[in-house]
C-alpha cells in the first residue's frame, strides 16, 4: 500500500517544461485508458504551480474530452486567465497526440474570514465498524463477480470501506445513495495543495457507480458503457487525506444515457471539507 502511495505522489509531481507547461505520466501502462481522477489531480497540480502559494483552490470545473492513453505522457498547458485582488483563475488543457483530452478551470482565493455553515453529516457506522480487509474478502467479496473482486482487492493508494456492498451482490434496483469511508493509505503532511490534489484524485472513484444503483447495475456490468463526462469540485475547508473521510453520495437523476451524482466529503468529526458533482455516460450496450 505504501508503494502505491509513493507512486501516486510521484505522478502528481509534474515535470515543468516551461513557465506554463508541464508533463505528467500514468502509473500503469496496462490500463485501457487513463483514470479520470489522475487527470483531474494532475491538472490541478499544474494550475497550483502557477499561483501564489498564499492562495488555495476553492473550486474546479472540468470536462473529459477524449480517453487518455496511459502509455503516453500528458502535456498540461496552463493559461493564466486572471490574477485579481482576492481571486486567481487558471485554465488547463491536457494534451496527448496533439489533441485535447481534458480541460479544467480552477479558481484560487486568499484565506479570509466570513460566514460559516454546513449541512450536517449523516449518522453512519464508523470505518472500523464496516467489513474491510480479510473480513470483506471472506464475508462479502467471495460472492461478488470476478471483476468486482479484482477491483476491491488490488493494492491502491486510497483505501475504501463501503458501508453497504449490496449493489455488487444483487440486481435489485436500489436507492441511488452510497456512503463510503475513504482515506489515503498514509498522510501526505500539511501541504494543503497536495492534500487537495489527492482529494481530487480520489473524488472520481465510486462516484459514477452510484447513478446505476437505481437500475440494478454497476460500472463492472458488461451491459453498461460507462465513462465520466465532467467533474466539478468545491474545497470548503482544509483537509488531511490521511485521515478517514466519509464520502456521502446520491444520484438525483439519470436520463438521456447520462447519470448525475453528487458527493459530500466529511471528516469523522462531521466537518464538511469538500463537495463534488459529476455527470457520466451510463449508456446501455446495444449488441449487434
- Rounded to an integer, what distance in angstroms lies between the CA atom of residue 273 and that of residue 238? 7
Active site residue 107: no
Buried b / exposed e across 105-126, counting CB within 10 Å, b at 16+? Answer: bbbbbeeeeeeeeeeebeebee
Cell of 174: 436500489
Which residue among the candidates 178, 203, 211, 228 is catalytic per the annotation?
A: 228
The H or E element containing residue 136 is helix 133-139
Which residue among the candidates 77, 204, 209, 240 is catalytic per the annotation?
A: 204
- Is the Cβ–Cβ distance between 62 and 40 less than 8 Å? yes
Active site residue 228: yes
DSSP annotation of 92 reads E
- Rounded to an integer, what distance in angstroms lies between the CA atom of residue 6 and that of residue 250? 31
Active site residue 278: yes
Which residue among the candidates 56, 178, 249, 278 is catalytic per the annotation?
A: 278
- Rounded to an integer, what distance in angstroms lies between the CA atom of residue 148 and that of residue 145? 5
Among 19, 10, 67, CA closest to 39: 67
Query: Which stretches does DSSP call E strand in the chain?
Result: 15-18, 21-24, 55-64, 74-83, 87-96, 99-110, 158-162, 177-184, 224-228, 230-235, 245-255, 258-267, 272-284
Cell of 1: 500500500
- Is the Cβ–Cβ distance between 185 and 147 less than 8 Å? no
Query: Which stretches does DSSP call E strand in 97-229?
Result: 99-110, 158-162, 177-184, 224-228
Catalytic residue list: 204, 228, 278
Amino acid at each position: 500500500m505504501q508503494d502505491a502511495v509513493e507512486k501516486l505522489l510521484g505522478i502528481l509531481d509534474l515535470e515543468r517544461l516551461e513557465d506554463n507547461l508541464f508533463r505528467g505520466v500514468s502509473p500503469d501502462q496496462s490500463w485501457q485508458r487513463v483514470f479520470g481522477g489522475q487527470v483531474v489531480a494532475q491538472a490541478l497540480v499544474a494550475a497550483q504551480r502557477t499561483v501564489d502559494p498564499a492562495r488555495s483552490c476553492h473550486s474546479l470545473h472540468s470536462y473529459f474530452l477524449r480517453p487518455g492513453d496511459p502509455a503516453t505522457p500528458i502535456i498540461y498547458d496552463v493559461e493564466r486567465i486572471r490574477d485579481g485582488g482576492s481571486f486567481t483563475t487558471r485554465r488547463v488543457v491536457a494534451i496527448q497526440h496533439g489533441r485535447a483530452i481534458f480541460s479544467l478551470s480552477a479558481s484560487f482565493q486568499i484565506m479570509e474570514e466570513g460566514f460559516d455553515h454546513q449541512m450536517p453529516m449523516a449518522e453512519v457506522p464508523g470505518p472500523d465498524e464496516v467489513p474491510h480487509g480479510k473480513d470483506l474478502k471472506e464475508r462479502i467479496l467471495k460472492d461478488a463477480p470476478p471483476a468486482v473482486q479484482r477491483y476491491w482487492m488490488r493494492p491502491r493508494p486510497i483505501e475504501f470501506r463501503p458501508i453497504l456492498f449490496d449493489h455488487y451482490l444483487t440486481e435489485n434496483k436500489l436507492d441511488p445513495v452510497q456512503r463510503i469511508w475513504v482515506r489515503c493509505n498514509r498522510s501526505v503532511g500539511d501541504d494543503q495543495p497536495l492534500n487537495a490534489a489527492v482529494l481530487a484524485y480520489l473524488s472520481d472513484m465510486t462516484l459514477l457507480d452510484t447513478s446505476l444503483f437505481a437500475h440494478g447495475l454497476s460500472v463492472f456490468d458488461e451491459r453498461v458503457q460507462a465513462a465520466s463526462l465532467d467533474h466539478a469540485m468545491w474545497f470548503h475547508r482544509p483537509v488531511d487525506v490521511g485521515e478517514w473521510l466519509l464520502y456521502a453520495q446520491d444520484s438525483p437523476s439519470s436520463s438521456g444515457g447520462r447519470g448525475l451524482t453528487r458527493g459530500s466529503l466529511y471528516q469523522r468529526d462531521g466537518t464538511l471539507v469538500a463537495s463534488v458533482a459529476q455527470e457520466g455516460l451510463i449508456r446501455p450496450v446495444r449488441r449487434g
